[in-house]
A and B are shown apart, each in its own frame.
Chain A
């Protein structure tokens, strides 16, 4: 009772403070209202709809759609000039430069060897990261879906890194993997010599995979968990009554019923993995050498950071990546639509 009265009194002070803060806002809204009434009279409800939609669409138009279409024009031009009007038309030269390879399996034979190195790295990264991410998230979701003590606490534990910024994630792990870091400290306890993990090509690559899984698994675990909780409980009760073994319950009930959800998650992970940049850029900076250089970083460096900037080439590379993403997104939309239809039928 005391709890409740304290809460209401808190609410009241909160409200009165809010009221004071709202006074100028209210005034502003009143001032806006007069001309808008005129608009409403003049153009009707349809006019108001346009008015409400306009700011959002303007920003979309200028900062998303316009660049999207200019991008094609950019990829057809050469030189280092920034504005499209100053650039020279080169046709498909940038694309043919990107694809100028005598052997696609070996990036060194390509005109743009860093691009193909980045593509190769990204390919391996996607394969490894998506597989492991799905496995880890699925196991965690299955465990969190059990009858656990303090389940919301455990769910929060795995979700925590999702909110951290990529820069913080990169720095946390850079600090752990360095020579005097926690990992070497732990291994030292088992008698291993300290190792500079991020200076080693293979370990650095493994670190990018591991760190990105660490940072994002909580997000996918949540989505898979929501899917698991939608599976009717009576199926499990029936299986338990028949004395079905745990592995069999998983393969015969859980997995088939989870599949539509899981497919959507797989595509989501794929889309994100293809674009990997932030954490890796802070963690390894693409190095050592080019061993953790991924496509987004290639685009960023070609377009902005390199000594000899080449926006046209960067645009061409970004369009190629965009194509992959569009295909993946369409697959995802198709999958989630079919999932929703199945759900509706049930």
Chain B
């Protein structure tokens, strides 16, 4: 054991601890809790019943008061451990509470009422995962609809993004034509025009095209990403032109060159763009909020924000739905995090 500790705390090169080492590890450990803690707390809370959610101080794991069905009573009664007048303890079911006195019965002898001060009883608790938080939104609410809308928008937008951006990147990297620099500058300029600046006129254009309250109205304005064109163009520039010339000798058409040669060779960059696009489109909020006003068209993000903004927030459902919304992104994080981090470090774009 002591050797294990020694191993953990040993510094490379056998040097002692410097103040910067202490700062480093304090920062990292605190960071671990601050970064993961909130999401873990949310996930743990999502398994609690509404009653457990209203408790303060809260428990970390979901506990509920154990209930028991007693003869002569319609509803199941709460079970308590009570200290009786003679100092002994017993497990009793509460029938009703009047002021500070609780009227209780033995579950096996329902006729006899025992009066106990409420300070002398503690609920019998057991761990219970409220999975109905997850199942009920699927059956009672439009949750499946929202999920489907989000998946549809994400998948369609990503596919179109990949095709449209790679075609543009191909033209900009492998052809010499008049206005190429102009086209590049134009795409560069669109980086300066974020949604928040053009949302009012964009809304009128989308409406004029009949795309208001239509998922395509969410998809189309987002697909021609300048970032995507840049990532793909940089990558295609590294593909040697001789390859294209050889294919042209063999009577390949330009479309075939794009489709059979360029696209397969650009696969790594396409993969990075696909990951980015999935995360962007899954997380999009402001634009869907503007375009979609009919309930059955909401994406998950819009649905969640609308429900959580209601006066009587049903937190137990909101929390569970938030966890479901997090799942794809957490999967991307677990399996594809490396691609994304190298992509960001390489291009500085998100």
Contacts and interface: CB of A to CB of B under 8 A. Distances in A.
Nearest to A75: B200
A163 to B, nearest CB: 5
Contact of A148 (B24, B203, B220): B24
Interface in B172-226: 172, 175, 177-178, 180, 183, 186-187, 190-194, 196-209, 220-221, 223-224
Given A52-B170, A56-B229, A300-B290, A71 B201 contact: yes
Interface string A177-188: 001111011001
Given A56-B224, A57-B183, A303-B200, A223 B258 contact: no
Given A46-B177, A71-B200, A164-B326, A180 B229 contact: no
Contacts of B170: 52
A140 interface: yes
Interface stretch (B73-81, B85-93, B129-137, B303-311): B303-311
A146 B168 contact: no
Interface in A1-38: 29, 32-33, 36-37
A107 interface: no
B27 interface: yes
Given A56-B167, A165-B301, A140 B255 contact: no
B259 A167 contact: no
Contacts of B301: 165-167
A223 B345 contact: yes
Query: How large, as a class, is the contact surface on chain A?
Result: 35 or more
Contacts of A168: 304, 322, 325-326, 329
Given A59-B224, A225-B345, A157 B35 contact: yes
A194 B305 contact: no
Contacts of B27: 139-140, 143
Contact of B31 (A158, A164, A304, A325): A158
B196 A277 contact: yes
A173 B35 CA distance: 12
Given A171-B308, A175-B315, A223-B345, A166 B196 contact: no
A181 B170 CA distance: 52
A212 B186 CA distance: 31
A260 interface: no
B306 to A, nearest CB: 10
B155 to A, nearest CB: 14
B307 to A, nearest CB: 10
Chain B contact residues, majority secondary structure: helix
A186 to B, nearest CB: 10
A275 interface: yes
Nearest to A163: B329
A70 B254 contact: no
Interface in B137-189: 163-165, 167-168, 170-172, 175, 177-178, 180, 183, 186-187
B16 interface: no
A53 B12 contact: no
B54 interface: yes
A315 B348 contact: no
A338 to B, nearest CB: 15
Interface residues of B, number: 100
B38 interface: yes
A266 interface: no
B3 interface: no
Chain A contact residues, majority secondary structure: helix
A170 B332 CA distance: 20
Interface in B23-64: 23-24, 27-28, 31-32, 34-39, 41-42, 45, 53-58
A158 B35 contact: yes
Interface string A212-238: 001000110011011000000000000
Contacts of A282: 304-305, 308-309
A172 interface: yes
B256 A33 contact: yes
Interface in A63-99: 63-68, 70-71, 74, 82-84
A176 B322 contact: no
Interface string B323-346: 001100110110001101100111
B96 interface: no
A275 B344 contact: no
Contacts of A275: 194, 196
Given A49-B175, A164-B326, A314-B200, 19 more contacts: A37-B253, A53-B168, A55-B224, A64-B193, A64-B198, A65-B190, A67-B204, A68-B197, A70-B201, A71-B201, A154-B31, A158-B31, A168-B304, A174-B308, A175-B41, A218-B35, A277-B286, A285-B309, A304-B199
